[in-house]
Structure 1
Amino acid sequence: MISSAVAVETIAPLGHDEAMMVATAEYDRLLAVVDELHDEDWSRSTDCVGWDVKAMLGHILGMLELQADPQERTRQIGAAAEVAAQTGALRLDAMTALQVSEHAGLTTDQLREALHVAAPRGLAARRATTEAMRATPYDPQLPGEPGWTVGYLFDVVHTRDPWIHRVDICRAIGREPELTADHDGRIVADVVADWARRHGQRFTLTLSGPAGGAYAAGTGGEDLTLDGVEFCRILSGREESSGLLATRIVF
């Protein structure tokens, strides 16, 4: 292991309190991007196939509504499960499609306003989850994905999701995303630790950019060098890769 690299086993898990601070900052950054969108930006294609910027933000709004209201969460999951049973689609894909469809009729101004209302509500509900609730098992129904807890879903996945979509939107509109080591670097470090646990192999990893860092597990493994954000885009399936980078992470 190179001496300057962080040993992945020493990366602290993203706990509830820290996750909520990171998520709050992330929605502030995302909403700042939304507030600066020009009329022509909303229809620009993103890296998520079939979604333009407006559709992506409709999905984000739906996820915030799901987080804020248990009844809404039950409704969305139930509707998506029915579609999945009928079509063979993944429940998650059916749910995100539902979110996009149900918000497609909003004007861009209405969608922007709805996001500003929904973000604090979703964050408040996540912040209020109890330790017992977060320990509850949750089945994501994703091929090859192990069982989660509600805490992993709410604290980790629901924090990564707006982050990667902020990157998607910035790429679509030709803007550099705001990136800092303390915020984005912490999200990326958590992804690195999750990725390392999943493949269990030795490696050295050098990630460039403000969200980057140097990480390692053991010695003599695969040696990887790439941009920190690009690393996450690859693991999310937005770019194809091989070797250890073929290990997928849910965002």
Structure 2
Amino acid sequence: MPAEHFPIDVAAIGRIAHQEAMQLAAEENTRFHNLLLQLGTDDWQKGTDCARWSVRDVAVHVTASAEAQASFVEFARQVIRGRGLTTKIGGRHWVDGVNEAQLRARSHITAEEIPSRWDHASAAALTARQQLPPAVGALRLLPLGSVDGVEFGWQPLSYLFDIGFTRDVWMHRIDICRATGRPVNPTPEHDGRIVEDIIAEWATRHKEPFCLKLTGPAGGTFIRAEDPEIDCFELDAIDCCRLLSGRGTPKGVLRNLLPL
């Protein structure tokens, strides 16, 4: 029987820890690479759900992020260059400036180069993430502050290095699939586990009771409700995560965002 037939109390969801996170990252890296290899000449300039970004821009951003994960020097370079760009582009968060800096510094990269560059960068990034000492990962050095009205404050490095970067690649893979008409082909073991972890964190960011019946291979039914008769909000699991990330117009309890 599908897991979605058994309601899961979000408080009982085991969060993704380091070892599992690295397995998910390796699988997501492969899936993203395979998607890039499928893209044709006409695909790269198609618009995506990310404002102002084409498919090429999304792929370059994800690759640049991996390059920063693999090299502290590159990470510092992106942050420094991004500082002066956030205001210029009308960004709402310092990360917007970093993203812009990534694209500007890689304007010369051709679409044909992107798949191999991603393959190399993602492998190096995964190695760096696997080797991050636990004591370093626990340091609260990430000044995330407020993102789309959600207060993150200072987070440990592991917040991004364990699963955060993988969520970013996962969501951008979905962006590219939607833009190019490619199937996402989600699986319970991979996409379903990422969705489950997203819902578990999302539930810690607000206090509203809810019942979410998320459909599709990545879905399940998740509850936090004092009233056992509360109506379930039903939608596709991936569509739910898109709404929580700020893509689309969320309603009801889904107005509590979790920027990915």
TM-score range, shorter chain: over 0.9
1:213 maps to 2:225: no
| CA distance in structure 1 between the partners assigned to 2:95 and 2:258 by the alignment | 14
| CA distance in structure 2 between the partners assigned to 1:242 and 1:50 by the alignment | 24
Local SS of the residue matching 1:39: coil
User: Does structure 2 retain, via aligned residues, the 8 Å contact 1:203–1:219?
Assistant: no
1:80 maps to 2:51: no
Counterpart residue identity of residue 139, structure 1:
P
Match of 2:162 in 1: 155
Alpha-carbon shift at residue 142 of structure 1 (Å): 3.4
Local SS of the residue matching 2:80: helix
Larger displacement relative to structure 2 (182-191 or 66-75)? 66-75
Identity of aligned residues (%): 34
CA distance 1:32–1:88, shift in 2 (3 Å) = closer
Match of 1:175 in 2: 182
| CA distance in structure 1 between the partners assigned to 2:118 and 2:166 by the alignment | 16
Larger displacement relative to structure 2 (231-240 or 145-154)? 145-154
Q: Going by fraction, where is helix more abundant, 1 or 2? A: 1
Local SS of the residue matching 2:108: coil
CA distance 1:237–1:222, shift in 2 (3 Å) = farther
Match of 1:245 in 2: 254
Local SS of the residue matching 1:28: helix
Alpha-carbon shift at residue 243 of structure 1 (Å): 2.3
Q: Which runs of 5+ in 2 are unaligned?
A: none
Counterpart residue identity of residue 143, structure 2:
D
CA deviations on 1:107-150 (whole Å, 9 max, x unpaired) are 11122221111110011101110111111111124343222111
| CA distance in structure 2 between the partners assigned to 1:204 and 1:243 by the alignment | 11
1:46 maps to 2:55: no
Alpha-carbon shift at residue 87 of structure 1 (Å): 7.0
Map 1:20-99 onto structure 2 (within 5 A). Answer: 20-84=22-86, 89=91, 90-99=93-102
User: Does structure 1 retain, via aligned residues, the 8 Å contact 2:5–2:220?
Assistant: no
Match of 1:146 in 2: 152
1:166 maps to 2:173: yes
User: Does structure 1 retain, via aligned residues, the 8 Å contact 2:82–2:94?
Assistant: yes
| CA distance in structure 2 between the partners assigned to 1:201 and 1:40 by the alignment | 44
Match of 2:126 in 1: 123
Counterpart residue identity of residue 140, structure 1:
L
TM-score between the two structures when normalised by the length of structure 1: 0.94
Local SS of the residue matching 2:222: strand
Please give the root-mean-square deviation of Cα atoms over the aligned residues, in Å: 1.8
User: Does structure 1 retain, via aligned residues, the 8 Å contact 2:5–2:221?
Assistant: no
CA distance 1:22–1:70, shift in 2 (3 Å) = same
Match of 2:112 in 1: 109
1:236 maps to 2:245: yes
| CA distance in structure 2 between the partners assigned to 1:136 and 1:223 by the alignment | 38
TM-score between the two structures when normalised by the length of structure 2: 0.91
Larger displacement relative to structure 2 (149-158 or 178-187)? 149-158
Map 1:176-191 onto structure 2 (within 5 A). Answer: 176-191=183-198
- Equivalent residue for 1:224, pick from 218, 233, 251: 233
Q: How many residues align?
A: 250
Alpha-carbon shift at residue 177 of structure 1 (Å): 0.7
Alpha-carbon shift at residue 154 of structure 1 (Å): 1.3
User: Does structure 2 retain, via aligned residues, the 8 Å contact 1:27–1:119?
Assistant: yes
Larger displacement relative to structure 2 (33-42 or 86-95)? 86-95
Q: Which runs of 5+ in 1 are unaligned?
A: none
